[in-house]
Chain A
């Protein structure tokens, strides 16, 4: 069965510091998709990025960057020059194509990121 582990329950940093959120996944499928979502206090899950298992290119979007490494089954997320508005719970999620969506998205437990001014 698929599994997503976010070992960091909570991270607290001072504004402008860089911070990396770890995500490790387990799957038997060769085709799968990885996602990151942000959940601010309002509760809505905000989509950040989707990556398929055949695309190991790292991606950068402004202050956000993602490092996908199949060799270590990791999909880490880095925020550069963090800001108070980045404070939220961040979830990593996995979707297995061969399962036909039978299990929906499998989420990690989330990392609560606190950016202190």
Chain B
């Protein structure tokens, strides 16, 4: 079974731009969660999608948004990029419940904001 895939792997953007990251979950997994990893703040939960609906959301500004498609693939969008948005963005998929089922992570997208 293929693992979680994320595209692109690397991105360089400038302040003020917007960016869209993509995540394809493990086949059969319906829950997709997103995390931001920075050296200062560590791994922080962004949001979780299930059945095309945002089920949970972390403490991030509204510039961070996402969506999920009927095939469970998910995208996250960051608008009006700031230097502090430079991070590794990790996507994780789980069968149904993100809090009881194991979350399996993708390789991440490394975003650099200049």
Contact = CB atoms under 8 A, between A and B. Distances in A.
A109 B42 contact: yes
A19 interface: no
A95 B99 contact: yes
Contact residues of A: prevailing secondary structure: loop
Interface residues of B, number: 25
B72 interface: no
Contacts of B56: 100-104
Contacts of B105: 37, 44-47
Contacts of B42: 107-110
B8 interface: no
A99 B99 contact: yes
Interface in A84-102: 91, 93, 95-97, 99-102
Given A43-B88, A109-B42, A110-B42, A104 B55 contact: no
B106 to A, nearest CB: 7
Interface in B91-112: 92, 97-100, 102-108, 110
